[in-house]
């Protein structure tokens, strides 16, 4: 009988490890967020950014100061997707960005878990979070070379509204801005 109970407990634990859970980030999650940001960028941006450029960008845009700044506004949230205690992806949602617009920011999924529904869950959670706040639209900006991200957003119904050039460390990149109606 003890053997059966042990097997049942192990099966239940294994089943729980198969589920993707969503939760809000805390400062204790920042290192894991930086890891996913780095891995995802190294995979998705390798055709136009060096490893050093990726690491510099993550250092700049994912510092504790920047992430704490996002969370310091109680209206903002960073959602995490996890399975078995491992961070699979994340996104930051700001009901009002610097321009006063609702925005999906810093949205990445670990490369080996892409196309497994993780991004879909995070995107839908971000949309429902804003809808619950009475917001009817969301803006998304991404670098033009991010073909994986752009295809994802377009499949989700994001509408192109603008593009502009931005200079990062002396290199010009095209930024694509989308709008999603919630």
The pLDDT tens digits of the residues spanning 31-63 come to: 999 999 999 999 988 888 899 999 998 999 999
Q: Is residue 165 domain-resident?
A: no
pLDDT digits (tens, 9 = 90+) for 102-145: 999 999 999 999 999 999 999 999 999 999 999 999 999 999 99
Backbone angles phi, psi at 166, to 5 degrees: -130, 140
Counts for the chain of helices (H) and strands (E), in that order: 6, 7
Q: Can you tell me whether residue 71 is helix, strand or coil?
A: helix
Separation between Cα atoms, residue 123 and residue 142, nearest integer Å: 15
How does DSSP classify residue 169? T
Predicted structure pTM score? 0.87
State which residues form the domain around 116: 19-139
The CATH number assigned to the domain holding 30 equals 3.40.630.30
The answer to whether 17 and 83 are in contact (CB under 8 A) is: yes
Res 13 pLDDT > 60: no
Counted domains in the chain: 1
Tell me, what's the pLDDT at 156?
Answer: 96
């Amino acid at each position: 009988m003890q053997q059966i109970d042990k097997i049942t407990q192990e099966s239940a634990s294994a089943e729980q490890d198969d589920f993707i859970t969503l939760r809000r980030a805390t400062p204790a999650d920042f290192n894991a967020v930086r890891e996913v940001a780095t891995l995802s960028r190294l995979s998705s941006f390798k055709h136009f950014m060096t490893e050093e450029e990726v690491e510099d960008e993550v250092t700049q845009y994912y510092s504790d100061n920047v992430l704490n700044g996002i969370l310091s506004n109680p209206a903002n949230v960073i959602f995490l997707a996890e399975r078995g205690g491992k961070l699979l992806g994340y996104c930051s949602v700001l009901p009002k960005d610097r321009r006063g617009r609702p925005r999906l920011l810093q949205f990445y999924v670990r490369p080996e878990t892409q196309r497994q529904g993780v991004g879909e869950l995070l995107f839908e959670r971000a949309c429902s979070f804003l809808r619950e706040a009475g917001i009817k639209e969301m803006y998304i900006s991404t670098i033009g070379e991010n073909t994986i991200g752009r295809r994802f957003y377009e499949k989700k119904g994001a509408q192109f509204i603008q593009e502009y050039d931005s200079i990062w460390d002396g290199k010009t990149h095209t930024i694509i801005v989308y709008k999603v109606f919630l």
